[in-house]
Structure 1
Amino acid sequence: MSDAIWELRLQVPEAARPLFETALEQVNGAALSVGGSDRQGLVPLTLYLGEEPERADITARLAAAAAAMGIKTPDFTCELMPEIDWVAESQAGLPAVRSGRIWVYGSHVAEPPPPSCIALQIDANVAFGTGRHETTRLCLQILQDLARRCRRENILDLGCGSGLLAFAAARLWPTARVTASDLDATSIRVARENARLNGFRPGRIAFDTGAGYRAPDVRRNGPYDLIVANILAGPLMTLARETSAALSPGGVAVLSGLLVTQERAVVARHRAAGLHVQARRRMGEWSALLLRKA
């Protein structure tokens, strides 16, 4: 199958819509879109296909549905859609995001970064982390608070996605060793490329693929005085004891990816592992926690 998209359009009576939907949804590789009815009671149906359909097959399906309803077989059009770079199209509508001193922008953004900002280029991609989600912004806020108060020498971004939080940490603590890991090899590939685009020298950030704290470089480079994990509440709780073990005495962990309603459970699991809440931030329904190891 090619990357071409074929668009098939027709109109059917509102009462006959379910039957025609069923007939068209059985076409291989089809995605069906339904609009609202017009004044004549006709509903537009649009079918998107990854290859040119057999017009005789479409006609037969429509004829069978029309016969079942006792109506005339509807006409349809089928055209090849123009090729569009959908990633570029989606990026074009995304402005830069600022969180304190951190200014995150896509390659399409022409405006210069504000003075004294830490500018990081992150394009929308398959890896999570463009600075737009509340949990990412909460983590960036806590990291900047920490950077104003204390030095950090050894930092881990667990579940790094695009690498944004690792990059922010490397800029906020220029002399610190930074390790970034993710379970997804594609995310690590994207993060490595993002590091290159943002001018980090090779080896400045150690990238590793693996599950949690079992990734080779993650094990080798610990213990850490700062761990950032913007993942989900479930994995955070599962990894609570491992997070505590990977922290040096007095080390801190920034945890996010959890809802406000999940705070209590996450805090309880980490308290049992020897980590205690130092601060928390919330944005909408999302939360981020700063925990410290005694």
Structure 2
Amino acid sequence: MNILHMSDIHFCQSYAQFETGYKGMISKMTNPLEHLAISLAHVKDRVSLDLVIVSGDLTEDGTVEDYRYLKDWLTKELGEIPLVVTLGNHDIKANFRVGWLDEEGSDAPYNELSSFADFHVLSVDSSVYGMADGQLTQPQFNWLETQLETLKDKPIILVTHHHLLEHQSSTPCLPESVQLLKLIERYPVVALLNGHTHHAYTGDLLGIQYYTAGGMSFVGEDEGQGLVRFEERYGYNLYTLNRGEIKQQTTENFVTGTIIAYVNMQEEC
């Protein structure tokens, strides 16, 4: 079974036009649907896809219509391939629920369970709109523990938006990472998938395979003293599973060499 893992699309049909700052950078970047199209074509030329996972920041502060448009675009590109998503700190839950799920708007966390013949995928919402580092509340932990107890019959892949390792990025990890890892070590979690940093990362936590997918929109490189160099670079992870466990993992990065902008992020706060 082949799983494509993408993250941090930051899509909008129309970006607000700014000259400077983070929003100025966003307005100058290439439409991420172009990156998505290239990446999907690249994967489809190599393997037959069985599942696609997107680990958050589907949009850049998206409207209802942005979510509707992105889902329609992905559905057209993927056809019958199942799609699992979680939300990131740039996603607006109420707009997502209306535009993506076609249900009443709500700020309640969006958690998703998808079960397959040999494994389960648990997508856990660690996002809070406008809170970059994210949060897992106690009700979220309660939900997750209930699911883990129920799903002990098969290997489990756990998906969050936020990364869990403090040392992997200058961007802070999920504040409740230690509590989360303490919970899942009792259960058959075989892989942890996330995004948020826009940088691909491969590691091991408690004997669990750990993968962060690169962003599908842009990459920020820390220049020091708050200055970030934003580049046009994007990519994805591809996993091959056998009996519910990842047996092969490939990271692909597309480097255009384009610098979008330099932004002093301290001035953004």
If the length of structure 2 is used for normalisation, what is the TM-score?
0.34
Structure with the higher fraction of residues in helix conformation: 1
